[in-house]
């Protein structure tokens, strides 16, 4: 069982982004490369076949991309946010110098 939660500060960031734009938001979690395993907050995403919804946080559904489904079979995950003035990825919080991160464990 995968349990997903969000830190209060991260939830505020999600709310701020949702108020500022149109489109339906979702988090996707995939692994690797330059970003590490990180949640990406995206608008109007085409969900990958085989992706698995593991819950909803701050009113936003959270999906594991297929490659992560077998990896997080039994985990407690928390989406948090950190300051990162020069952050990349296409995740929407990067515009505000912030970065969502995934914490494992309670």
Partner 1 sequence: MKEFGLFINGQWEAAKGGKTAPTINPATEEAWATVAVADREDVRKAVAAAKRAHDSGVWRNKSPQERGEILQRVAAALFERQEEVAAAEVQDGGGTLRKAMSMDVPGAAQTFMHFGQFICGDEYKAMLQEEYEESVPIPSRNLVVREPIGVCAGITPWNFPLIMAAWKIAPALAAGNCVVLKPASVTPVTSLMLAEICTAAGVPAGAVNVISGPGGSAGEELATHPDIGKVAFTGSTEVGRRIMQLGAGTLKKVTLELGGKSPNIILPDANLDTAALGALFGTFMHQGQICESGTRVLVHESIHDVFVEKMIAGIKRIAIGDTMNMMTTMGPLVSAAQRDTVEKYVAVGNEQGAKCVAGGKRPSNMPKGYYYEPTIFDAVDNKMRIAQEEIFGPVVAVIRYKDEDEAVRLANDSVYGLGGAVWSQNKDRAVALARRIETGTVWVNDYHMINLRFPFGGYKQSGVGRELGKWGLAEYHELKHIHVGESTPPEGKFYFQALLN
Q: Least distance (Å) from partner 1 to the CB of residue 60? A: 15
Question: Which residue among 36, 53, 56, 59 contacts partner 1 (CB under 8 A)?
Answer: 36
CB-nearer residue toward partner 1: 15 or 82: 82
The structure tokens 């608008």 sit at: 43
Q: Decide if 25 contacts 42 (C-beta within 8 A).
A: yes
Answer yes or no whether residue 101 interacts with partner 1 by CB under 8 A: yes
Distance linking the first and last C-alpha atoms of the chain: 14
Region 40-79 residues binding partner 1, contact defined as CB under 8 A: 40, 42, 45-46, 48, 65-67, 70-71
Contact 40, 93 (CB under 8 A): no
């Amino acid at each position: 069982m995968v349990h997903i939660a969000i830190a209060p500060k991260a939830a505020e960031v999600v709310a701020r982004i949702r108020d500022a734009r149109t489109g339906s938001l979702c988090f996707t979690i995939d692994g690797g490369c330059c970003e590490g395993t990180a949640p990406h907050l995206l608008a109007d995403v085409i969900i990958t076949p085989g992706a698995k919804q593991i819950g909803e946080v701050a009113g936003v559904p959270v999906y594991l991309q297929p490659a992560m489904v077998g990896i997080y079979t039994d985990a407690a995950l928390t989406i948090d946010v950190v300051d990162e003035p020069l952050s990349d990825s296409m995740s929407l919080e990067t515009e505000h110098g912030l970065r969502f991160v995934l914490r494992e464990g309670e």
